[in-house]
Amino acid sequence: MKETYKKNDKIPFGGSVVYNELKEDFDSVIVVERKQQLPYDGSLDDDETTPVSFGDFFVIITPRIFMTEEEANSLVAFVRRGNDLMIAAADLDSYFLELIGVQIINVPAFLERMPGTMADTKVSLSIQKSAETVAFGYFYYPLLNYFKKFPETRTQILGLNERGEPDFISVSIGAGHLYLHASPRVFSDYFLLTGNNIQYAKRAFSLMGSAHTTVHWDEYFKKLRNKQNKAPEKSFSSLDAIMQRPLLKWALLLGGAALFFFVFSNVKRRQQAIPRKVPVANDSVDFAETMGRLYFLNKDNKNIASKMIGYFREHVRTRFFIHLSDPLSVKEDTVRLAQKSGKPVEQITELLNCIQGVEASAEITDEELLMLNLQIEKFYKKK
């Protein structure tokens, strides 16, 4: 699901619930949407002798945050002067982490979102000045991110993931505090609206103190999380990160152009040649032509009659599934053939008698051959 954490996004991973919670808990909430609205002066250095200004609280909740070195230094200076900064992000700027001496371990998205990994998962908060912890859970991908390294003498662990590893810490810097959370999803609408999880946000903000006079809600870094400020080389793998690097950008564009050309050049359907269909041979015509040639060349009436009778027998066998006896049994064959063909018994009897006479004769006259042909043609004709 898309994770935005924006104040007006009423989606599972929007930030409308936590934003409204801040408005209830604090008197003044200022939305930071442009660089000019950031709650620090970019020209500030890290000189601890600079007068401290107490009271401001800057809240940043985003899937990932990248910044320029100038912005990173200014954020640290903002905290050092007596203000508080909270950053809830699974992927933090590498320069900023080096600056504060913190190392975060996050589960890569492709591993986290493998099929079957969704489960009931939980995080817990440590109650101030006690060993008691309170757990809050929901059903989604496990909350396993945690902080592996931090300045122990200046760090307080405020929360743990389900494995008991620190995912919410407070680092003292100068006169202020930097609050880091490795799982921004715990501030999403989905998490906070599950069961009584809204108490997680209330208690988390109470752990961060209630003496703030002004709260600054970030919408500025949310916009930049996918636009290169100065993103670390290994912590970002989205399309925007590729477009921010000239060589990768041109490689992607050339690859896309090549793919488009390939698809466009092959868009015309390639059709195989349809083989020429050989017309079905007309056996009747071939048979008639064969008989004609035999008669014309040899005038062998007996041979012609035998072929005509053989063709007739084959026709009866394939058409009516009747094997005529050899020699013919006129009485039995007449009944079977008349029933199957629907021809009159008299016609079948006359035909079979003619065939029987021809088969019994050694020689056939022209008249007998003509009579046989007429009888067979009469049988072939439909009613």
Q: What's residue 196's pLDDT?
A: 94
Say yes or no: 202 and 294 in one domain. no
Rounded to the nearest integer, the mean pLDDT of the chain is 82
Say yes or no: 166 and 287 in one domain. no
Domain assignment present for 343: yes
Q: What's residue 376's pLDDT?
A: 86
State the CATH number of the domain containing residue 156: 3.40.50
Say yes or no: 106 and 57 in one domain. yes
257-284: burial string, b at 16+ Cβ within 10 Å, e else: eeeeeeeeeeeeeeeeeeeeeeeeeeee
Q: Which of 11-20, 67-76, 291-300, 373-382 has the lowest mean pLDDT?
A: 291-300
Distance between CA atoms of residues 90 and 255, nearest Å: 31
Say yes or no: 228 and 334 in one domain. no
**pLDDT, tens only, 132-170:** 678 999 999 999 999 999 999 999 999 999 999 999 999
Q: State how many domains the chain has.
A: 2
Q: What's residue 33's pLDDT?
A: 84
Three-state DSSP class for 207? Answer: helix
Q: What's residue 383's pLDDT?
A: 60
Domain assignment present for 254: no
Q: What are the angstrom distances between the C-alpha of 212 and each of 97, 150, 157? A: 25, 25, 21
Domain assignment present for 253: no
Q: What's residue 78's pLDDT?
A: 92
Say yes or no: 231 and 301 in one domain. no
Average pLDDT (220-249) is: 59
Q: What's residue 236's pLDDT?
A: 44
Q: Rank 164-178, 195-209, 219-233 by mean pLDDT and report only the highest.
A: 164-178
Domain assignment present for 266: no
Residues 66/222, Cβ–Cβ less than 8 Å? no
43 confidence band (pLDDT: 50, 70, 90) = very low
Q: What's residue 52's pLDDT?
A: 40
Say yes or no: 77 and 163 in one domain. yes
Choose one of 243, 265, 294: the last residue of a domain.
243
Three-state DSSP class for 97? Answer: helix
Choose one of 212, 243, 274: the last residue of a domain.
243
- % of the chain at pLDDT higher than 70: 79
Domain assignment present for 373: yes
In the predicted structure, residue 296 carries a pLDDT above the cut 80: no
Say yes or no: 233 and 338 in one domain. no
In the predicted structure, residue 53 carries a pLDDT above the cut 60: no
In the predicted structure, residue 243 carries a pLDDT above the cut 70: no
Distance between CA atoms of residues 332 and 323, nearest Å: 11
Strand partners, 124: 135, 160
Average pLDDT (255-283) is: 71
Q: Which domain holds residue 37?
A: 16-243
Say yes or no: 227 and 307 in one domain. no
Q: What's residue 289's pLDDT?
A: 65
Q: What's residue 335's pLDDT?
A: 85
Choose one of 188, 219, 243: the last residue of a domain.
243
Say yes or no: 293 and 234 in one domain. no
Q: Strand order in 214-218's β-sheet?
A: 29-32, 214-218, 56-61, 84-88, 176-181, 166-173, 155-160, 119-126, 133-140
Closest CA to 90 of 209, 229, 234, 235: 235
Domain assignment present for 255: no
Q: What's residue 143's pLDDT?
A: 92
Domain assignment present for 261: no
Q: What's residue 193's pLDDT?
A: 96
Q: What's residue 261's pLDDT?
A: 81
Say yes or no: 323 and 223 in one domain. no
Task: State which amino acid sits at residue 165.
Answer: E
Domain assignment present for 265: no
Say yes or no: 130 and 190 in one domain. yes
Query: Between the CA atoms of 145, 150, 153 and 159, what dihedral angle is there, to the nearest 10 degrees?
Result: -10
Q: Which of 69-73, 210-214, 265-269, 318-322 has the lowest mean pLDDT?
A: 265-269
Say yes or no: 167 and 23 in one domain. yes
**pLDDT, tens only, 77-129:** 999 998 999 999 999 999 999 999 999 998 877 677 777 789 999 999 986 55
